[in-house]
Structure formats: C-alpha cells, structure tokens
Structure 1
C-alpha cells in the first residue's frame, strides 16, 4: 500500500473539501461541477483493486499488468451491473443466510457484491496477486516460448479471475454478511455497548474491505428513520485513527514520516482512514491498537449520549451531518464530546505508548518473491 498512500490521502482530502462545498451549498450535488470533482476524488478508491493489484504484483513477483487487468475485471461495468438489484436481468440463483448468489459461471452460482464492494477493497486483489505469483512460474515452465506471450497471460487472467469471482469473493461476501448481521444484533441489544464494541473493532473491517457490508445498514437506517446511530459510531473511529497519525506527526523527528503523517491525519479527519492505517498505524502495530482504543472510547460516548447522524459524511468534516433538521439537539453536542474524547485518547496513548522514533530502526526490509527466490524489493 505504501506507493499509493499519498494519492489516497490527497483523494480523501479532496472528498472532504467537496463535502464541505456541498453542505454549505457552494456546489449543488446535482451539478456537473459536483460530478467532475467527485470523479477526481473517487477514482482512486473506485479503481483501487487495479492500482493495488499493480503494486501487490510487484511485491509478490507476479506480472503487474496482468494483476491490474484482473483488478479491472472486479470493477468492470457489466460485472457491477449484474450485482445491482435494479439491473435488467438480475437474478437470485441461490441464497445462504444473507449471502445472495446473483450470477453464475458455467452453471456455478457466484456472489457478486452489491454497491460494487469489490471496488474500494484490497483483499481480493491481493489474493489474486498471490495466486498469479504461484501460477505464473508453472505456466512459463510448460508453455512453449513461441506462444508464451499470448497463452500465459490468457490463462493467468482466466484462471485467477475465475478463482477470485467463484471462490474467494463469495467467501469474503459471506464473512461480510455475517459481520453485518452481528453488528445489527449488537445495535439492537444496547446502543452504548454497541458503541464500545463497534468503535473498537470497526477499523479492523476496513483493513480487509469488509466495512462495505456496513454501508447498506447505514443506508437502511437513514432511509427508514432519517438518521443513523451506526454511522455516528463509525465517525468516531475515523477521528481516532487520525488522532494516532497526528501523534506520530508531532512526535517523530523523521522528515519522511512527518511528510506522510500530516496528509494522513487530514485525510482521516475528512473521513478517509486508509492513508493513516496503511501508511502508519498498521505499520507500527501499537499505533493501530492505541487508535482503536480511542475509537472504542469515542463509540462508547456516542452510544451513552445517544448520538444520531443525519447524513453519510463523517469525521470532523461531516459535522453538519449531526445537526438535526428540526434543530440542534444532543446529537450535535454529543458528537463534539465523543469526537474530542476519541481524538484525545488516541493521541495521548499513541504519543506516550504507541510510537517512538526507534520503531523506525526496527522496520523489516520489504522483500518480494520471484520464481522461488527472495530478492530485495529494489531488484
């Protein structure tokens, strides 16, 4: 993820700016201006499987172009359309629990995620890069050199895309459905306890792209009730991850880390946590833990203060989403309290216990695998 962290942060900041312009009626969400700026800010996330496929392939020793093409399969418009319940020709071939098998491949039912959840995700394409690295040497060994340029990529794209769509994708979607059901159950049990649990663990779902299972729950809450307590909890976890990155930015003396931590902090406060998590908090594992503790505290207070959220945009940039259309109430003030607590707890714990510059000296050298050999990443 390191090669794309800067672009993720820039895209997250641009999304935040667009949200502010929209909320204060500077830009109309139905205008072409909005559409164009949204494309600028969203393209990085929408095509993330292609971009991460390229970088993952370089690390794992497979052909980056081939894996990028496989990423393109996951976000191809007609594949996305097949998963859309409103699309013409949409069918339900089978259903196991909350997992709907809405397409088939040579008669084998497969589960294509709604809302294009393969876009914005990284786990399926990383699996694809690993599989390609295993298959590629075998194909190169047995396919004659005279036709290898054509048939090796052909077989790699077909075999790996099939495995991801038929096997690994449905597994991920099945896990997502189970997580969504679990979150619904916790929310229905007790909002305060739900805030503590979801606040502490929600960003773990983001790591694997499983958090997209939560989006339909938020949409359903807003559609039925006009507000979403779940989204309020999620907002606190974004601020907590930003608090961890902010602590690193203030504490470190390494300029390269400061250059990464500053934009990652801003991006998290704009509601995009991936730059902070992939670039810093996960890399220095204690930071992710301390930031998650901050998220748990923020989520606990969100539930305790009965905070509701009346829009989708979260974190600090989404403060208008906490204003009740009927007028200011406890949701807005609770948002301020919970967000401040999440930030302070995450910052303090990270500053004193989560990170020190000596952690940089303990970094492992990133290596890649190529044809059975381990080589330095720069080779």
Structure 2
C-alpha cells in the first residue's frame, strides 16, 4: 500500500466518489477538483482529517488543501480515478463542466495551470540572480567577468526563453501537443528574428497619429508584420493567447486529415499556419492587451501610490484563499520579464511575513500544545512564501488574526509603493530580498526600504495580535 493511499481514498470518498470527479489539477498546496455535484461533498469530514488543512468551493472548483506534498498526493491519486484514462465521454463531461464556469473563473483557472509548473524553477533562477546581485554589491565579482556572465545566464535563462516553457505548459493546459507549443515559443524567440523584422528601413506607419502607431519594416505575403522592437523574448501573454487558438487549430487539422497522416501533417499544418498567425495577429493583440492592463494598474499607481498599495496589500491574501491571485502575479511576472523590473510584486512581498508575525504571536501566547505544534512548521513555510499552512491552521480560524495580516501587508505595501521600489528578479519568500539589488550597479537602496517595510509589517501584525490575544 502506498504512503498516501488511505488519504486519497478518504478524499475521493468525501468529494462524492470517483464518478463525481470530472477533472483534477493541483497548485502549490491544493488539490483542485472539478465536480459534477458539489452537494455530495462531506466538507466536515474533510476539514476534520488530520492531514487536510481545509476544504472549500472556490473559483468553480472544490479545493482540498493538503500542503507542500500536494504533487506526491496528486500523482498517487490519479491512478485511482477514471479521469486518468481520459475517454471521449469524460472529455465531453469536462467540457460541459467548463461551460458552467464564469469567464473570470475559467481565465483564472487557466492562468493557474499554466504558471504553477514554472514556480519552482522560477524561484531557483531568482535566487541565483539574488546571489549574483549580492556578490556584485560586496564587490566579490564585477559585471562582465566570467562568474557574472555565467550566473547571469542561469538566472535569466528562464525569462529569456519563457515563451518556450510557457508554450509547453500552455499546450498541456489547452490539451494540445506540448512539443508544438515549444516550437511556437521557440519561433517567437528565434535568434536574429528581431533584427531581420525590424532592422530594415520603415516601409510605412500603421495607425499613424494614434497611441497604437507602429512602424512597419517587413511584410508576410503582402500583410504587414507588426513586430515589437524588443521582440517576444521574455513575454508571457502572447504565447498563452497563441496556444489557445493553436490548440483549436490543431484539433481542426486532426479532424480533416486521415489518422494515418496525423504524425507528420498535424504538426506541419499547425505550425505553418499557426506561427505566421501568431506573429501577424495573436502576438500584436496580446501585446496591446498586456500593455493596456499594465497601463491601467500603472495608472492607478500614478494616480495615487497610496490607494494602489492599500488596495493590493489589503486584498492579496484574501485573493490567495480564493485562488484568484494568479492574474496579479502573472502581470508582475510579465512586467519583470519584458522590462527587467516590476513595481507590482514588491507590494505583496511582505504578505507571508505578516502571516509569520501573527503566527509567532500566537505561538508565544497560546498554552495549547497542539496549536504550538502547528505554528512552527507554518512559520517555516511562511519563510519560503507558502502561506496556506498559516492561513488555514492559525489565522483564518480566528478572523481578527486574518484581518491583522491584511492590515500588516497593506502597511508594508504602502511604504514600498511610496518609495517607488522596483525589483529586478522575482521576490518570492524572504530569500527573494536579493531581487531588490540592482544586478548591474549593485545598488542596495531598495533592499533597505523593503527591510523597513518588512519590519513595519511584522511589527503591526505582531502587536495587533499580541495585545488582542484571547485563548478562546
């Protein structure tokens, strides 16, 4: 019997059984079930199980929070479910279930599936950039020397070739061939593509005199190629939008040619039609949409950093509970990947530290040994930006504690926003503070501000908890 067999049997039974499950995915700490009938769920049994933190309906799914071992549990559960066989009938059921979701729920679910598999390597690359920045700051290495070049290559490899990685995860999410997704992503970042498509003389200007004015340097069979000056290296949105449409194109191609020809001609027709369509249509659309979204958030920030910080800082942790925080994270990642800096993710940097401070206060005040036992691993998880154990184990069950974490995060976000702090690498977890060091100059001024914001966040959250604590 496997390590998680009993737990998985228990979960399956209490979400309504195998026949009630039409789809299963997972993120960092949660199993995400798509169910036929959520009324069959025995939530009381789930939340009272010692290995389950909580269970809830959110974002059109039923989420069972099991902690950092979620992938092992997920892999052990799949063979127990009929969906692992993925029949046509089951796919049809999933499609019907998907149709019931709101557009927002489907969008968030999609972003979650695409981004989540990259988080581990993203954190690893970001920590390497943090180490590089520290070495530059302490004059151990200098920009341009061999050590700097190699560390820089490792750290930025993910972002530089992000379209290839997201081509793979997007294709899997949209039930397409992941290798087609990788080739589409690779075509977008192909060497010399930018120089070849934007390096010649300007033929004419498209949308001349508007905010969308674009210089046209080349054409494809007479059609203008709207290609960004920086290319699609490091972009997020274009490849996701492209693979959404290409997955449908791939299925269409499969439907009109004999199965005996699928092996060769499905990739051939999908790529020869899909890549030009991506460069001519989907890429420009995605770039405009991404720019408009980023501009809207930047506009709020420009209008009032205080309002933007309070809004983002206060709402981020509630969004995590609902699984609705991924679009916010995706925008931050896109800013970081395309411009090299981001102003959005720094405003949520202190969220796990607010949780840690509240949990530490509870640890000091409580006389309940079972609560103390939960606090220590929860604080360790907070250190690495995994806040669900603290939320579901300590802060959310006593609502005022949860409110104190939101207040503390908002205070930290306010300090960071007012100082116009930007990061240069993904700033996930305490170790991510190295991402606030400018890797080119070694300037550490943002680190000092973030450290101040962190102390303020933790002080506010800790003191509010310690002075209002009640064992009841």
Fold shared by both chains (TM-score > 0.5): yes
Shift of 1:28: 1.0
Partner of 2:269: 155
| Preserved contact between residue 187 and residue 275 of structure 2 (Cα < 8 Å) | yes
Residues in 1 aligned to 2:232 and 2:462: alpha-carbon distance in whole angstroms: 31
Residues in 2 aligned to 1:343 and 1:81: alpha-carbon distance in whole angstroms: 49
Matches within 5 A, 1:62-211: 62-81=176-195, 87=199, 89=201, 93-95=205-207, 96-98=210-212, 100=214, 102=216, 104-121=219-236, 123-144=237-258, 147-197=261-311, 204-207=327-330, 211=334
Residues in 2 aligned to 1:128 and 1:343: alpha-carbon distance in whole angstroms: 42
Worse-matched range after superposition: 48-57 or 91-100: 91-100
* CA deviation string 1:222-254 (max 9, x = no partner): xxxxxxxx84x6523334367679999x99x99
1:237 pairs, out of 329, 340, 348, with: 348
Cα distance change on mapping 1:310 and 1:169 into 2, 3 Å: closer
| Preserved contact between residue 60 and residue 129 of structure 1 (Cα < 8 Å) | yes
Partner of 1:225: none
5+ residue gaps, structure 2: 1-114, 317-324, 364-370, 397-401, 465-472
| Preserved contact between residue 205 and residue 213 of structure 2 (Cα < 8 Å) | no
Residues in 1 aligned to 2:415 and 2:352: alpha-carbon distance in whole angstroms: 17
Shift of 1:27: 1.5
SS in structure 2 opposite 1:61?
A: coil
Residues in 2 aligned to 1:78 and 1:120: alpha-carbon distance in whole angstroms: 17
Worse-matched range after superposition: 108-117 or 307-316: 307-316
Worse-matched range after superposition: 33-42 or 178-187: 178-187
Residues in 1 aligned to 2:201 and 2:358: alpha-carbon distance in whole angstroms: 51
SS in structure 2 opposite 1:11?
A: helix
Matches within 5 A, 1:308-319: 308-309=420-421, 312=424, 316-318=433-435
Cα distance change on mapping 1:302 and 1:6 into 2, 3 Å: closer
Work out whether 1:302 is the aligned partner of 2:416.
Answer: yes
Partner of 1:338: 453
Residues in 2 aligned to 1:207 and 1:347: alpha-carbon distance in whole angstroms: 30
Work out whether 1:40 is the aligned partner of 2:151.
Answer: no
| Preserved contact between residue 62 and residue 136 of structure 1 (Cα < 8 Å) | yes
Shift of 1:68: 0.9
Shift of 1:320: 5.4
| Preserved contact between residue 21 and residue 27 of structure 1 (Cα < 8 Å) | yes
Residues in 1 aligned to 2:444 and 2:272: alpha-carbon distance in whole angstroms: 56
SS in structure 2 opposite 1:26?
A: coil
5+ residue gaps, structure 1: 220-229, 269-275, 350-379
Partner of 1:212: 335
| Higher RCO (CA 8 Å, separation ≥ 6 residues) | 1
Worse-matched range after superposition: 59-68 or 19-28: 59-68
Cα distance change on mapping 1:34 and 1:332 into 2, 3 Å: closer
Residues in 1 aligned to 2:277 and 2:462: alpha-carbon distance in whole angstroms: 42
Runs of 4 or more consecutive aligned structure 1 residues displaced over 6 Å after TM superposition:
200-203, 241-248, 289-294, 325-328, 343-349
Residues in 1 aligned to 2:278 and 2:451: alpha-carbon distance in whole angstroms: 42
Work out whether 1:20 is the aligned partner of 2:165.
Answer: no
Aligned length: 306
Cα distance change on mapping 1:173 and 1:76 into 2, 3 Å: same
Residues in 2 aligned to 1:94 and 1:292: alpha-carbon distance in whole angstroms: 46
* CA deviation string 1:302-342 (max 9, x = no partner): 34xx4255984666225656xxx9998xx776543323345
SS in structure 2 opposite 1:77?
A: coil
Partner of 1:52: 166
SS in structure 2 opposite 1:170?
A: helix
Cα distance change on mapping 1:235 and 1:213 into 2, 3 Å: closer
Cα distance change on mapping 1:206 and 1:129 into 2, 3 Å: same
SS in structure 2 opposite 1:128?
A: helix
